[in-house]
Amino acid sequence: VMVFRNQELKPEGFLRFSKYFGELEVHVLDQYLHSEYPEILIVSNVLEDDRNIGIPDAGLYWHTDLSYMAAPSRGSILYAIEVPKSNGRTLGNTIWASTAAAYEALTIDTKRQISGMKATFSLSGRFEKVAEDEKADTELTIDQGNRAPDVIHPVVRTHPVTNRKCIFVNELHTSDIVGLPQAESRALLAELQEHTIQTEFVYRHSWLPGDVVMWDNVATQHIAMHDYSLPQRRLMHRTT
Ligand code: OGA
Ligand code: MN
């Protein structure tokens, strides 16, 4: 996770910077794309004409971005434009956990147990999960669901640059472990999740407007704190 403070970026500059690192994804939730620059996803709780201008429920649970796609995102960049505050305290923090450090701290038995295991990742499962939450927005359209069918990924991925092994299953997008009875699968996923997010593996970011935070979606997973609501405004631009 890298943090660059005090940036002033127009969409063109943000896109130019993002494209230095690879081809950009156009997010499947097209109702939240920037109207002129579809490679920018708006992350926001702001309403205009009663409509959410961006995705209001991003990161309600631990996840890595686009892990429900056949080709998950290599990295993501968030640019903070408006950050909610209350009595001088910044709200809407984001927390990242090192999936590499978490993997390395597993017991040898667990490493052996999960070696070679595969899991199902699901965008529609993500929608079912957040539907209960009061911050949840709209549903997935049939067309969007068709563009992101469930996929299978390994439970542990090897980082393409560092060769470190990383826990890849996550709370929001992983629905089950292939070949395990449901109760066992749920218990193992919960155990891995709880292990991954221990304090010694996490960095918590308190945002300032102008922050650009860029992260590796193999070596980390993240969650957003939804501890604010209108009239406290939060507005971010995201590329993946
Ligand atoms: C995201 C996300 C976290 C945040 O945009 O991928 O998880 O703090 N956002 O907005
Ligand atoms: Mn995210």
pLDDT given at position 128? 80
- pLDDT digits 0-9 by tens, 170-206: 999 999 999 999 999 999 999 999 999 999 999 999 9
Stated length of the chain: 240
Our answer on whether the CB atom of 223 is closer than 6 Å to any ligand 1 atom is no
Our answer on whether the CB atom of 83 is closer than 6 Å to any ligand 1 atom is no
Three-state SS annotation for 138-189 = CCCCHHHHHHCCCEEEECEEECCCCCCEEECCCCCCEEEECCCCHHHHHHHH
- Name the pTM for this structure: 0.95
Work out the pLDDT band at 131, boundaries 50, 70, 90: confident
- pLDDT digits 0-9 by tens, 67-108: 999 999 999 999 999 999 999 999 999 999 999 999 999 999
Catalytic residue among 34, 57, 65, 234: 65
- Measured from the CA of 55, which atom of ligand 1 is nearest? 5
**How big is the CA angle at 159 (ends 221 and 161), to the nearest 5 degrees?**
125
pLDDT given at position 138? 67
DSSP 199: G
